[in-house]
Amino acid sequence: MDLQLNGKTALVTGASRGIGLAVVRALAAEGVRVVAAARNPTPEPAAAGVKAVAVDLSEPASAERLVTEALAELGGGLDILVNNVGGGDGGLDGEFLDVTDAQWAQVLDLNFLATVRVTRAALPALTTARGSVVNVSSMGARVPHGGPVPYTTAKAALTALGKALAEEFGPQGVRVNTVSPGPVRTDMWESPTGYGAGLAAAMGVPHADLLAGLPQATGMLIDRLVEPDEVAALVAYLASPRAAATTGTDHLVDGGAVKTA
């Protein structure tokens, strides 16, 4: 299917690896001119012909700088914003009472407020273009007991933000949608220093065994983790003119893990 994205412009945050990198590749393959933002850019976006920008979005002033640089790179216009920045769940495999104020602030800032700031900075250009925002949340927003409480709480706020922005900016032609993946085959689960490894250690099981049992343990109806490309395909569709009547929605890509409507 031609997504009618050729010649459009996009800014993708959290774009160096995993879901973000898959989104960058999916959009670039459709002919979108993309700026890929990440704290530590990797060579892969440049290999796809994409401009990579180093930025730490946990710093409040960085959002304005990023959007200014992206607009300059893209010729002043912006059709698509994909807010994928997030994480910070490493070291949060303890119970609620173990989490400090500093950890709460760090996780909320990266997983929620960074998106608030980037979106706020980008909305004037998106309004002019009658563009589209896609936020990458998590199925944890719907099952908050299924992950670190600060992380799932921040993702729940992110999902709510998408619906609120769709309502406010819909009359100005801006669509806002959310994609909520389940366990995805990314460093969050697979890295020996990531959340999955920490969780396995806390449970006293080998990391490989935790990953092998994760689909069943989370209630997935498929026997594997979700692939980043599968999430990226939905993000690209929602960002495209093919989804012109879709806004204010939250789409699960979780292999059937969440059972409620």
- Residue 195 known to be catalytic: no
**What six digits make up the tokens of 43?**
């060579």
Q: Is residue 117's pLDDT more than 70? A: yes
Q: Is residue 191's pLDDT more than 80? A: yes
The pLDDT of residue 88: 62
Domain with CATH 3.40.50.720 in the chain: 9-182+227-249
For residue range 29-38, what is the model confidence (pLDDT) as tens digits? 999 999 999 9
The pLDDT of residue 151: 92
Cα distance between residue 223 and residue 72, in whole Å = 45
Cα 142 vs. chain centroid, distance in angstroms?
A: 16
Neighbour count for residue 72 (Cβ, 10 Å):
10
For residue range 42-96, what is the model confidence (pLDDT) as tens digits? 999 888 889 999 999 999 999 999 999 999 999 999 999 999 999 865 567 668 8
* Catalytic option among 151, 189, 195, 237: 151
- Asked if CATH classification 3.40.50.720 holds for the domain at 9-182+227-249, the reply, yes or no, is yes
The pLDDT of residue 90: 59
Share of the chain above pLDDT 70, in %: 97
The pLDDT of residue 177: 98
Beta strands in the chain (DSSP E): 9-12, 33-38, 51-54, 80-83, 132-136, 175-181, 250-253
